[in-house]
Amino acid sequence: MGPPSEFTVKSIDLETGELTVVMNREDAQVLGIRSLDRVKVTSGRKSMTAIVELTGTVVGRGELGLLVKGREMLGIGQGDRVRVTPVSRPVSIEIIKKRLNRMELSSEEIKILTEEITNHRLSDVELSAFVCSTYMNPLNNREIKDLTMAMVGSGETIEVDTQPIFDFHSIGGVPGNKVTLIVVPIVAAAGLHIPKTCSRAISSAGGTADILETVANVTLPGWKIKEICETVGGTIAWGGGVNIAPADDIIIRVEYPLSIDPYSQVIASVLAKKKAVGADHLLMDIPVGPNTKVPTMELGRRYARDFMDIGRQIGINVECAITYGGQPVGRNVGPALEVKEALKVLENDPPSTSTLEKATSLAGIILEMGGFTGDGKSEAMKILTSGRALDKFREIIEAQGTEYHDISSDMVELGKHTAVIESPSRGYVSSINNKDIVKIARAAGCPHDKFGGIVLEKKIGHQVDRGDELFTIYSSNEQKLTMAVQAARKLSPFTIEGMVLERIPGEKVIHTI
């Protein structure tokens, strides 16, 4: 660590994922600093470690460019004075190299790595190397448990006074999986407490947080989640909006552009956030099907075993439901579209049976975990058909903050630009490629365009004629819509087959008369 030097802050209106400062190239040369080196920036009692980028023009000699996040962390602005001290590279770099060499990490190494991730000591390049190492060579269960508990310790925890606490999570991978918006209000309406925290999309068209955010506030502080859970019975809040397992949110940020979700990271991420909210009982939804995160039953059962094993080690009773993931859940894919469909189910007017069937089955399992005797699914259906689940959903979003009073499905806005994709032939829908549906929805702007997405007009088993509508694409941006249509034509996510799949011609016999 070198001697500190004083600089005048120059505000730069730019947001990046990692903490970055911009330094004049000549100042950096004097201090012996190179691009991507780290410095400690101090203002009064506050400090942060940041990655250095160099320039010859953006900032002058004696100036330090601070981006939005850095200024917010230090509570300073244009013209303020800061001290800059060169710092050594993080210990975690050697730990990451060890992982890349397929070596097992000790509990202490995992703790150090998690602390340095939380304190923004690692660049996105270094974080990506760690993520890729776990993608290619998953952590073992002991490492996953240690990473889980280290991530819990990296942030705050929520202690809801009412016990026991129930929770629900889907590992995703199947588009249109909006069932959380139905499961949580059913469970809360039954009198159980479920402080559900959820994530934003990594590789999907919309995470649960992205979906609900179209109609309600999902960014809640920990005390608010606790308060709403104790008074209303449940929440559906973004985990990244509260300081729960912040190391996990930093890792998720670098997973997003790679569109990967490593096996061991999935388990650690979920269990860390569930442990942080004090969950006693957790139901995991594991969708299995082609072109999902879990393509085989064998992998689904492996996920179930590991979730249950590691959950037991950290004090959470985990049950798992392996669910059908062979095609999208319901008909709507994309944030606003999925809210609309979830509301239709809550209003007892479901556009398809798959969303209703899945949501009530999963809610029923949680009710049985909570001590309800008899058939939990039947009880969940009673709560739904009575209107209590819709009332509870409205109560939850009003407690979290919403512009909608007595929200209904017809209040949900959708993208103004649409395009219909038609069937190229007559036959039956034999398959729908989940990954291709997601690619098309993302091309339309999802998840950032909350009003974009896809409505499936046909599903597997449906008969179609040439020219029949297969699906409709929605977008708020005409250019994005064009890109989505191009993607749809290139990918052809629907497979249409007739009763005769292929003709194998034999020898021609010529009859003469």
Catalytic machinery residues: 261
Dihedral angle over CA of 342, 440, 296, 148, nearest 10: -70
* Separation of alpha carbons 441 and 474, rounded Å: 8
Structure tokens at 171: 């590992």
CB atoms under 10 Å from CB of 458, counted, come to 19
Pairing type for strands 463-464 and 332-333 reads unpaired
* Separation of alpha carbons 424 and 492, rounded Å: 10
- Cα 106 to chain centroid, rounded: 28
CA distances from 463 to 72, 154, 243, 327, 432 (A): 57, 53, 50, 16, 14
- Cα 475 to chain centroid, rounded: 21
Nearest to 199 by CA among 158, 236, 160: 236
Nearest to 501 by CA among 411, 396, 425: 425
* Separation of alpha carbons 393 and 432, rounded Å: 31
Query: Is the Cβ–Cβ distance between 47 and 6 less than 8 Å?
Result: no
Angle formed at CA 97 by CA 93 and CA 99, multiple of 5 degrees: 115
- Residue 319 bridge partners (DSSP): 283
Give, for 435, the enclosing helix (H) or strand (E).
Answer: helix 434-443
